[in-house]
């Protein structure tokens, strides 16, 4: 049975990936900060799906913790077949604020940790000749919603670069670009969602089921809902002044 390591595997999209892979019979390694929640989540998955679930408490904003996760990914005695770099959070802050701690944490968790863990996975998978690296970007990567968009654009661009780098190998690489998913994300970041129309939202389970179809096909970019595909198409092909105007409206609607 394959083993799948998922960062942020205790909530929302990560928890949905964990359940979906466990339902396929995969063993799991779950990474997050909250150890109690990891223990609870692992017990639930073991009971429900009869799979092995290892927990790896780590704060991916801290480099020694990231290096510990990377070392687990590279442990040849316990190979990891799929790595899902999912851990992350929303940013709802003033771009001019003198306090840049949230931005620094976002860059550490959603860029640096993704780089370190993806590279460890790439090395380990290259040695075994197979594997899949999945990085969670966002539809926001095509618009201009502050540093969050910049961070997620980095994830998408980095992941495409990694796919190019590994294109002559059997290692697959996918950037998943979800739109609006009902998880703890918005509440945790203090983002108001009441002005976001209901039809754009998708449940984490549905989103992950669609993403897995793309991942199984080895797609490099996955936009896991038709309505988000339309939005991504417009963001890429509409005049950029219109995209910036929509970005401004979206940013204002969160306040
Ligand atoms: N929800 C959306 O609409 C949406 C849309 C596009 C992209 N995304 C992306 O999808 C990913 C998952 O988000 P979600 O919506 O599922 O959010 P969520 O429900 O808030 O879950 C976030 C997960 O990441 C973990 N995490 C956060 N900070 C961490 C850190 N410093 N170290 C280790 N783990 C950390 C959390 O666990 P602990 O708090 O215990 O650490 C939790 O398991 C994120 O990368 C997000 O940017 C979300």
Range of the domain at 49: 3-254
Please determine, for residue 53, whether its predicted confidence score (pLDDT) is greater than 90.
yes
DSSP string, 58-118: --TTSHHHHHHHHHHHT-TTS--SEEEE---------TT-S--HHHHHHHIIIIIHHHHHH
Average pLDDT on 134-138 reads 99
Mutating to test ligand 1, I would choose from 89, 149, 159 the residue with most ligand atoms within 8 A of its C-beta, which is: 89
Active site residues: 148
Please determine, for residue 55, whether its predicted confidence score (pLDDT) is greater than 90.
yes
How many domains does the chain fold into?
Answer: 1
Instruction: Specify the 3-state DSSP secondary structure of 148.
Output: helix
pLDDT at 254: 82
H helix count then E strand count, the chain: 10, 9
pLDDT at 241: 97
pTM above 0.95, yes or no: yes
pLDDT by residue (tens digit) across 71-96?
999 999 999 999 999 999 999 899 99
Question: Is residue 78 in contact with ligand 1, taking CB distance under 6 Å?
Answer: no
Task: Choose among 178, 183, 174, 179: nearest CA to 246.
Answer: 179
**Percent of the residues in the chain that have a pLDDT greater than 90, as a whole number:** 95
pLDDT at 195: 87
Nearest ligand 1 atom to the CA of 110 is 45
pLDDT by residue (tens digit) across 170-192?
999 999 999 999 999 999 999 99
pLDDT at 45: 98
pLDDT at 94: 92
**Percent of the residues in the chain that have a pLDDT greater than 70, as a whole number:** 100
Question: Is residue 91 in contact with ligand 1, taking CB distance under 6 Å?
Answer: no
pLDDT at 1: 87
Tell me the pLDDT band of 106, cut-offs 50, 70 and 90.
Answer: very high
For 21, 81, 124, 138, 175, the CA distances from 76, given in Å and listed in that order, are 21, 11, 7, 32, 25
Average pLDDT on 32-43 reads 98
Please determine, for residue 255, whether its predicted confidence score (pLDDT) is greater than 80.
no
Question: Is residue 138 in contact with ligand 1, taking CB distance under 6 Å?
Answer: yes
CA of 77 to the centre of ligand 1 (A): 29
What whole-number distance in Å separates Cα of residue 248 and Cα of residue 133? 33
Average pLDDT on 105-109 reads 98
Question: Is residue 224 in contact with ligand 1, taking CB distance under 6 Å?
Answer: no
pLDDT at 182: 96
CA of 239 to the centre of ligand 1 (A): 31
Q: Which residues pair with 254 in a beta bridge?
A: none
Could you tell me the CATH number of the domain that includes residue 108?
Answer: 3.40.50.720
């Amino acid at each position: 049975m394959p083993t799948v390591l998922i960062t942020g595997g205790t909530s929302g999209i990560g928890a949905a990936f964990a359940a979906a892979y466990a339902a396929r019979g995969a063993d799991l390694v779950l990474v997050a900060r909250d150890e109690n929640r990891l223990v609870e989540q692992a017990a639930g998955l073991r009971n429900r799906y009869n799979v092995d679930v290892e927990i790896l408490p780590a704060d991916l904003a801290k480099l020694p913790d990231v290096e510990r996760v990377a070392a687990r990914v590279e442990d040849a005695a316990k190979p990891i077949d799929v790595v899902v770099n999912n851990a992350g959070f929303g940013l709802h802050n003033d771009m001019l604020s003198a306090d840049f701690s949230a931005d620094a944490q976002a860059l550490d968790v959603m860029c640096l940790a993704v780089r370190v863990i993806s590279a460890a996975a790439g090395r380990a998978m290259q040695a075994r000749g197979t594997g899949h690296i999945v990085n969670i970007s966002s539809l926001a990567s095509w618009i201009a919603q502050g540093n969050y968009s910049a961070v997620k654009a980095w994830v998408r661009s980095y992941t495409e670069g990694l796919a190019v780098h590994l294109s002559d190998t059997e290692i697959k690489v996918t950037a998943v670009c979800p739109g609006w998913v009902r998880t703890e994300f918005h509440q945790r970041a203090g983002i108001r969602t009441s002005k976001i129309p209901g039809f754009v939202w998708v449940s984490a389970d549905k989103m992950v089921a669609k993403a897995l179809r793309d991942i199984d096909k080895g797609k490099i970019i996955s936009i896991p809902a038709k309505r988000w595909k339309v939005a991504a198409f417009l963001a890429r092909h509409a005049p950029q002044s219109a995209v910036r105007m929509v970005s401004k409206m979206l940013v204002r609607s969160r306040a």
